[in-house]
Each structure stands twice: as structure tokens, then as C-alpha cells.
Structure 1
Amino acid sequence: MKKTFVLVVLFILPLVAYLFFASGVNNFGKLPILTEGVLDIPQNTDEVTFEDKITILGFLGNNVELKKGNAFNLNQKIYKPFYEFNDFQMVMLMPIGTEDKIEELKLELGNLADIKNWKFVFITNEEIRAVFNSLKTNLSLDENLGTHYVFIIDKKKNLRGRTDDEEEATKYGFKATSVAELNNKMEDDVKIILAEYRLALKKNNADRTN
């Protein structure tokens, strides 16, 4: 009897738990759409776009030093676990004139990870405001055109977030100053949206072979 109990604990329970969580991802793993049709990035020399990309969108503003800690938190907690996915990118919309400050930041980030999917796009103040306003959130940019919040944009240029957050009800963005929020909420939500697209791709491939 004892041997049977031990076998159940060691082998059967982990299998049941795996099936339960796998089922949960398949059936419930979709991140709500909060805003459809976010304005795409204005044309720029690097041809960065939200189209067909899973994007973490941020606004560091004119005072890069003030938001540098946000970039490091995002780099460690969100970028590094996911940057090897081909359709994942981290996009920071920057005011024209911050190029030198960003070059310094890129050097520092590059010491910690391969920054190939960090994209810094330099556009006018008006263009920054236009993209931010198209998110249609309950948040705002500060006087330096920056915010501590970052946003998840899907491949169809929709803002994704939470409609049942225990603290904010509707959660449009994630505070990059909070390592706990990045760890406990944002990382999970990025996993969900990546899993959503992987499952959709598998389904499309299966349909083609039938």
C-alpha cells in the first residue's frame, strides 16, 4: 500500500497537474483586447512596425536618465526571457534629440544581453503623443513625453491587457519601476500571448495538412 501511494505521488499527481495546466492554457490562455487599431509607428529609417510583431511598447521621454532603471528592469525581467522569439520586439518611442543618450543606454544594455530586438525609434513630439493617445488608456505622458508604464501590442496592432486585474480592474499597462509587477503579471501575460500565437500557428499548419 505504501509503495502504491509513493508511486501515485511521484508519477500520477505530476501528470494530472500537467494536464490540468496545459488544458488551462489551451482553453483560457487569451489576453483580452483593450484597444483595437493602435496607430503604427511613423515611417522611419529602421522600418520598425507593430505589424506582425508582438511588441512591448514604451516611452522613455526626454529625460533618459530618469527612466534608465525602467529599461534595465525590462531588459532583465521581460526582454531576456523572450527576445529569441523571432516575432518579439521591445520598442521605445523617443523624442528627436535623445539619440546620444540612447547610444549610451544601448551600450549598457548590451553588456547584459543581445539587444538585437531592442528598437529605439526617434520621432517628433507630436508623433509620440499621437501613438500614445491611440492606445486609449487611463494613463498619460509626463512633461518629458515619458511614462513608467509599458504596453503589450499584438500582431494586429491591438493593445492587450487585463479586464479583471485585482488592483486596477482594467489594466492597460505595466509599471516598469515595479520588479514585482513585471515578474508576477507582465511576464505571465507575455507568455499567454506568445502561447496564443503558437497554438494558432499549430492549428493553421494542421489544417493545411488535412
Structure 2
Amino acid sequence: MMKLTKKRVVLFLLFIFPLICFLILSTGKNNFTKLPVVTKNIVDISLIDSSKTFKGNISIVCFLGNDIEANKGGFFNLNEKIYKKFIEYNNFQILAIYPKGKEEEAKKTKKDISAFTDMVKWNFIAASKEDINKLHTSFNSLDTLKNLYTSNAFLVDKNGDLRGRINDADAKNGKLFGYNMNSVSVLNGKLKDDVLVLYYEYYAAFKDKNKNKADRKEVGL
């Protein structure tokens, strides 16, 4: 029987164990938990701003409300904990919706945030009260707007579906529709992880698609 020496343990941890993990991940098809769709086919942002769309993008949506200055702490958290993490990722965007007539307040908030980061993927969009409510209502969440504001940020996938969690320990009935921007722990421990899961989901689908094409080409289809 092979003696389990300290040297062999170190070699196993450094080389063999990572290889086993890699083989498990690389050979399994969709061997991960997909992020649940909590609401399908929400209202597309293009109905508010024709130059923007959810389609083909991974979007974080937040609602600034009528008192943007009072609520901006959560937007700074979102910038620090989420935006800076994903600014280099393809097709990532943050859509900050604010009421028409609040352009100066929105401009000031954007300027304040820009002191810390490149705002290229932050999009501040003015909308009527009716359009803001229509967009938020389409999420079909338990969340409510107060003065057109909510502390929750929402994650929308490339198909225009709202993503979230269906067995979240902290959410009512286990269903998490939005992520509290005022909580650094929620942004770090939930939203950041869920955005990563969503990106990996698309990566795995792309990988499988290319593999299927290669397989079909090999058999002459």
C-alpha cells in the first residue's frame, strides 16, 4: 500500500485535485445551476428610449425617484460593488431611470459617480411617470415604487426576462426579484454572484453550440 507522505499530499493538492475539478467541469454539459427567470418578457426599455434595449444585453435596472439626492447612496454602492466589477464584460449596462423634470439632479448624481469611474456603461434615462410605472409593473415583483423610487436593482437578461432567485432565504416566499442597493452584503453576496452565473450560463451555451457545430461537421451534416 502506498504510504501517504506529506510530499504526495502536496502534489495531489497542487496538480491532481485541480485536474479532477477541471475534468468534471469541462466534461459535464450545463453542469451548473442556471439563474431562474422570475418574470418573462418585461417591457423593453426601447419603449422609453429608442436608442436602448434589453435584447442582447445583460442589464441592471434601477429607479432613481423624485428625490435623487436623498437616495444616491445606493447608486454609489451599485457603482462600487457591481459596475466596477463588470465594466469590462461584453454587453453589460446599467440603466438608471429617473422622472422627467429631474434632469439636473440626475446630471449631478452622474457627475458625482463619474469622479470614481468611467461612466461609459451607465445610462441615465428620463421617463414619464406613466412609463416608469409601466416598466416597473411589468417586473411583476412584490416591490413597490415610492415617489418613483425603489432601493432594489433588477437584473435583466439578453432575452428581456427578469432574473432572480426562487429559493432565497431572505425573500418573501423565497422569490427574489430585486437586489437591495443599500446593502453591500446583498450586492456582494447575491447580485455579483448572480451576474457571474448569468455570464457563465451564456458562455456554456455558446460552448455547447460550437461543440454541436463541430460534431455535425465531423459526421458530414
| TM-score after normalising by structure 2 | 0.86
Gaps of 5+ in 2: none
Inter-partner Cα distance in structure 1 for 2:98 and 2:204:
34
**SS in structure 2 at match of 1:66:** helix
User: Is it true that 1:179 corresponds to 2:184 in the alignment?
Assistant: yes
Contact kept in structure 2, 1:25 and 1:192, CA below 8 Å: no
Counterpart residue number, 1:163: 166
User: Is it true that 1:148 corresponds to 2:151 in the alignment?
Assistant: yes
Letter in 2 for 1:204: K
Tell me: CA distance 1:131–1:163, structure 2 relative to 1, closer, same or farther (3 Å).
same
Q: How many residues align?
A: 208
Inter-partner Cα distance in structure 2 for 1:182 and 1:19:
31
Letter in 1 for 2:168: D
Summarize the alignment of residues 12-161 of structure 1 with structure 2, pairs less than 5 Å apart. Answer: 12-17=16-21, 26-41=30-45, 42-44=47-49, 47-142=51-146, 144-161=147-164
2:201 to 178, 196, 203: 196
Contact kept in structure 2, 1:163 and 1:171, CA below 8 Å: yes
Larger radius of gyration: 2
**SS in structure 2 at match of 1:58:** strand
Q: Percent sequence identity over matched residues? A: 38
Inter-partner Cα distance in structure 2 for 1:155 and 1:201:
13
Inter-partner Cα distance in structure 1 for 2:66 and 2:131:
14
Give the deviation of 1:21 after TM superposition: 6.4
Tell me: CA distance 1:9–1:113, structure 2 relative to 1, closer, same or farther (3 Å).
same
Tell me: CA distance 1:23–1:178, structure 2 relative to 1, closer, same or farther (3 Å).
farther
Tell me: CA distance 1:15–1:154, structure 2 relative to 1, closer, same or farther (3 Å).
same
Letter in 2 for 1:126: E
Inter-partner Cα distance in structure 2 for 1:206 and 1:10:
30
Tell me: CA distance 1:23–1:61, structure 2 relative to 1, closer, same or farther (3 Å).
farther
Inter-partner Cα distance in structure 2 for 1:188 and 1:181:
10
Contact kept in structure 2, 1:91 and 1:119, CA below 8 Å: yes
Give the deviation of 1:16 after TM superposition: 3.7
Inter-partner Cα distance in structure 1 for 2:211 and 2:14:
34
Inter-partner Cα distance in structure 1 for 2:210 and 2:28:
22
Tell me: CA distance 1:206–1:137, structure 2 relative to 1, closer, same or farther (3 Å).
same
Tell me: CA distance 1:166–1:204, structure 2 relative to 1, closer, same or farther (3 Å).
same
Task: Name the stretch that deviates more: 22-31 or 149-158.
Answer: 22-31
Ranges of 4+ aligned residues in structure 1 off by more than 4 Å: 17-25
Contact kept in structure 2, 1:29 and 1:195, CA below 8 Å: no
Inter-partner Cα distance in structure 1 for 2:115 and 2:104:
18
Q: Deviations over 1:147-197 (max 9, x none)?
A: 000111111111110001112111111000000010011100000001111
| TM-score after normalising by structure 1 | 0.91
Gaps of 5+ in 1: none
Inter-partner Cα distance in structure 2 for 1:24 and 1:206:
13
